[in-house]
Amino acid sequence: MSEMQKVLLFGLSGNPPTGRDGHGGMIEYFVNLARFSEIWVLPVYQHMFSAKRKAMAKTGAPTYEDRIEMCRLAFESYSTASCRVRVLRTEQEVFAEMLNSRGTGPARSSTYDVVVYLKKQHPDVEFSLLLGTDTYQDLRKGKWRKSEELMNMVSLAIVDRMGVRPETENLLSGVELHHPPLLTDVSSTKIRDARAEDLLEGTLAVETSVLRYMKDHRLYGFGRQSRLENVLVAASERFSSVFSEERRWMVIAGTAAVVVTVGVLRVVGRFRDGGIRGGRARSVS
């Protein structure tokens, strides 16, 4: 009987995926570890936690297609002859299956549901699940759906994330703690908040191809051509959680009016000064 294929599952939002300092460093580490024949990256389709679900669904946020493509750009190049990295739409498939079976009402797919689906689709595969120390602690505390069942279904590979002290004494039997050497405290949130491309170019925080995609598709405020547009977007995000929608747009409109007025006054001032100087020059001649 042939040995079962070993696959490492890595679920993430990919909003956006980070580079060698973060998500990419984890992928590279496990590829080089040579324990798995494949690593399957599974971008979240709809987040289980309402706050993250709302953030990912708001206007201007990257679509699922955007996040899938950014993950492909970020991770598939790490593939080697012995370990292939694949970005899959499994969460979308699970969500669609659950929606069809429910008929009506909201469908919420969890990591447990994804693993059940994959084990049914691939009975000849031995799955392991990649988690950070923070998410592992949440799993142990029962914050995940069917936490105990999930821990009994797959092996767990825990990555020591910077800023989260691993509780090694609480590791379950068979759970391995890994220490990828390149990881820093970079996060998707920090990349989204950077806004300026020059803060990220040439760093390991995000892959160059992902940064280019973000700029080309004008995600997270990158690639915008006008300073005014950045001001308006920043104002919208700043006041979105403070004011009602009507009040928020009043504030943004006021900000836009001030910016435009200042710009017009500067142009008029330059024109006037130039005209006066030009008129005097002509009168002297």
By three-state DSSP, how is residue 126 classified?
strand
Would the pLDDT of 276 be above 60?
A: no
Quote the CA–CA distance of 33 and 40 in Å, as a whole number.
Answer: 15
The answer as to whether 221 is a domain residue is no
pLDDT at 238 over 90: no
The whole-number pLDDT of residue 232 equals 55
- Are 242 and 159 in a shared domain? no
Give the domain extent around 254.
226-285
DSSP helix/strand/coil, 131: strand
Whether 172 maps to a domain, the answer reads: yes
Q: Are 75 and 212 part of one and the same domain?
A: yes
CATH code for position 154? 3.40.50.620
pLDDT over 90 at 10, yes or no: yes
CA angle 81, 41, 5 (to 5 degrees): 50
Stretch 196-209: mean pLDDT, rounded?
A: 78
**Do residue 263 and residue 127 come from a single domain?**
no
Average pLDDT score, the chain? 79
Residue 19 and residue 153 in one domain: yes
Give the SS3 label for residue 218.
coil
| Window from 169-178, 225-234, 250-259, 272-281 with minimum mean pLDDT | 272-281
DSSP track, 157-204? EEE--TTS---GGGPPTT-EEE--TT--S--HHHHHHH--GGGTTTSS
Radius of gyration from C-alpha coordinates of the chain: 25
- Residues 145, 164, single domain; the answer is yes
Residue 283 has pLDDT above 70, yes or no: no
pTM for this model (two decimals)? 0.74
**pLDDT digits 0-9 by tens, 124-169:** 999 999 999 889 989 999 999 999 999 999 999 999 876 555 565 5
Backbone angles phi, psi at 228, to 5 degrees: -60, -40
User: Is there a single domain that holds both residue 30 and residue 147?
Assistant: yes
| Res. 226: pLDDT tops 80 | no
250 and 165 in a common domain: no
Please report the pLDDT score of residue 200 as a whole number: 77
Residues 185 and 231 in one domain: no
Report yes or no on 206 lying in a domain: yes
Sheet holding 125-132, edge to edge: 84-87, 38-43, 5-12, 125-132, 155-159, 176-178
Q: Nearest-CA neighbor of 11 among 78, 73, 83, 67?
A: 67
Find tokens 């040995």 and name the residue: 3
**Beta-bridge mates of residue 86:** 40
Same domain for 208 and 102: yes
> What does the alpha-carbon distance between residue 154 and residue 174 come to, in Å, rounded to a whole number?
10
Looking at the fold, whether 210 and 234 belong to one and the same domain comes out as no
The two structure tokens encoding residue 8: 């490492």
Domain boundary among 186, 216, 246: 216
- Give the tens place of pLDDT for each residue, 96-109: 888 887 765 556 78
- Tell me how many domains the chain contains: 2
* Residue 251 within any structural domain of the chain: yes
Regarding whether 57 and 128 lie in a shared domain, the answer is yes
**22: DSSP letter:** T
